[in-house]
């Protein structure tokens, strides 16, 4: 993580991290990214911080649309997840409509 990540306004970046929660090493990498971005003063979002009682799908869509960056951890497990594929569709749609989020793919556990 040598380069500084900034939002389009140069301020703190809102970063949505999409990953397959129950998969290894997806979960560990997502947690590490979340902690690193937070330590650097950004506003990362990871699904484990959704408040109990929230409407899960609505919360995810709002967070994706509000993100400056959408980071997807692509693994075999993630590509089999309908939720991950939905998140990617939402990010693509928002990016085409508004120019954000910027979509960054990180391939893990793929050959």
**Global pTM value:** 0.85
The residue written with tokens 């967070």 in the block is: 63
Summarize pLDDT for 71-94 with one digit per residue, the tens: 999 999 999 999 999 999 999 999
Determine the Cα–Cα distance for residues 21 and 100; give it in Å rounded to an integer. 24
Q: Do 15 and 71 contact (CB within 8 A), yes or no?
A: yes
Tokens, residue 14? 């809102």
Tokens, residue 88? 């990617």
Give, for 103, the enclosing helix (H) or strand (E). strand 102-107
- E strand map for 12-85: 14-18, 43-45, 69-74
Q: What is the mean pLDDT of residues 5-23?
A: 81
């Amino acid at each position: 993580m040598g380069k500084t990540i900034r939002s389009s306004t140069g301020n703190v970046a809102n970063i949505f991290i999409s990953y397959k929660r129950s998969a290894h090493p997806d979960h560990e990498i997502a947690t590490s990214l979340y902690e690193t971005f937070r330590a650097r003063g950004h506003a990362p979002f990871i699904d484990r911080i959704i408040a109990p009682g929230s409407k899960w799908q609505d919360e995810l869509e709002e967070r994706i649309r509000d993100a400056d960056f959408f980071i997807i951890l692509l693994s075999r497990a993630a590509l089999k997840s309908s939720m991950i594929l939905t998140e990617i569709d939402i990010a693509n749609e928002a990016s085409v409509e508004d120019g954000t989020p910027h979509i960054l793919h990180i391939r893990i556990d793929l050959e």
